[in-house]
Structure 1
Amino acid sequence: MKNIIYVLGLFCIISCNETKEDTIVENKDKPSMSIVRKYATAKKISPIYQEETKDWAELKAVDEFLGRFQNVSAKEILSNSIELEGLVASLKKESKPEMFNIPSFKARLNILHNETLRLVDMRDIPAITANEVDVQTKKIINSFSAVNDKINTILSKKRFEDAIDIDVKYIGLDSTKIDSVSKKSINENLQRKLEEKTKNQ
């Protein structure tokens, strides 16, 4: 009888120690994933181009969602990763203003989408660390900044071209080498001038 009591007592002590060890490991992992970190905001679209992008719902949705990542923990980032990936997938897939249907802009959207997919994958890695989530979050913010940067560049180019009043045939441009955005702007300017001339006659 005494032997049975000793065995049961020994078993209880061993199982208590294992539970304590598990708790210690859990508690060591939890704090780092729950620490709130501060992130820089992604580059914004220039205020002078807000009018051109005001109806672009998918772009706004991604911008607003990433705004939540300014003060956030790794745990919160991972729990929001699927929703973020869905928003970026919509931005990539849904129709966008025609001037942005160019390979260089699509490439930036692809990079952004790939980075969000990587973040989603991190949810299923048990050994993932807060630092790895931190690095990935910064990559996503930088990728979205690159998207907005490209939007600013395209709209700046369009605005510059719209301001040019000289017909290309008078300045010796090879119209076969002008990209689609430039051609469209030049044609619109010429059409507008033609309409004005017709009205004045």
Structure 2
Amino acid sequence: MNYLKIVYFLVFILALASCKKNENNVVNDSTTANDSIVDTDKRTIRAIGETLSPDGKETVKDWEEYQLLDDFLDNFYSSSPNEALNLSKELSHTTKQLIDSLKIDRFKQPDVSIRLNVIHNYALRLADMSTIPNINPSEVQDETQNILDAFSSLNKKINNLAKQEKLEKELKGFTAPILIEKDSLNSPKLSPPQGLK
């Protein structure tokens, strides 16, 4: 009977030791994955390609949600992939607000809407990446770069629309000089070339 108790006790101890060893491996694996994201702090994010021109800034000066997104994206230029993932849910919320808040009539056209939706879709994809346990840091950086490039594309479109609007206003104020044909005795009449009479 004592022999049986000793065997059960040894099996229990071995099972317990085996469980602790597996727990340590799981903890070490997840720690390594998170550490790999934090440790790859080398930034390969390019600066935004297009910023707003003075006319473009004037166009969006009252669009608060645009201003919020513009300020919020500053966080992504110097963030690590792990920090970008932590900010991703707030970014997707901010991009959704940007779409919902569009009240500038000039921007209510498909080419602007498409750009807004592209930014939002990239932000949603980044938020989805934050739920993946072993995400590759370069994938996070690529997605972050996609968001910044899409925002640059939106800025370029806003600049083009602002430039077009400015030209249209200038053309409305422009009047072409009226040409008056003088038909008097003092001014000679031109005769049409021969063969065209």
Q: Is 2:15 the counterpart of 1:11?
A: yes
3-state DSSP of counterpart to 1:72: coil
Deviations for 1:26-62, whole angstroms, at most 9, x for unmatched residues? 2220112223353334332113432332211111000
Larger radius of gyration: 2
Q: Does 1:33 align with 2:37?
A: yes
The alpha carbon displacement at 1:126 in A equals 3.1
Contact persistence 1:92–1:109 (CA under 8 A): yes
Return the match for 1:84 from 88, 91, 96: 91
TM-superposed CA distance for 1:153, in Å, is: 0.8
Q: Is the 8 A contact 1:37 1:72 kept in 2?
A: no
Distance 2:134 2:35 in 1: 14
Deviations 1:50-78 (A, max 9, x none): 23322111110000001011111222222
Question: How far apart are the structure 1 equivalents of 2:85 and 2:135?
Answer: 10
For 1:76 and 1:52, how far apart are their aligned partners in 2? Answer: 32
Deviation of residue 157 (structure 1)? 1.6
Q: Are 1:138 and 2:145 matched, yes or no?
A: yes
Partner of 2:126: 119
How far the C-alpha of 1:5 sits from its partner, in A, is 4.1
Q: Percent identity?
A: 28
| CA–CA distance in structure 1, aligned partners of residues 159 and 120 of structure 2 | 20
Q: Which has the higher helix share?
A: 1
- CA separation in 2, counterparts of 1:144 and 1:133? 17
Letter in 2 for 1:44: T
Partner of 2:191: none
Q: Contact 1:41 / 1:67 at 8 angstroms: preserved in 2?
A: no
Query: What is the aligned length?
Result: 169
TM-score, with length taken from structure 1? 0.73
Using the TM superposition, name which of 84-93 and 122-131 deviates more: 122-131
CA contact (8 A) 1:82 1:120 kept: yes
Alignment-derived partner of residue 20 in structure 1 = 24
Q: Give unmatched runs, 5+ long, in structure 1.
A: 171-201
Secondary structure of 2:135's counterpart equals: coil
More relative contact order in 1 or in 2 (CA 8 Å, sep 6+)?
Answer: 2
- Normalising by structure 2, we get a TM-score of 0.75
> What SS does structure 1 have at the residue aligned with 2:79?
strand
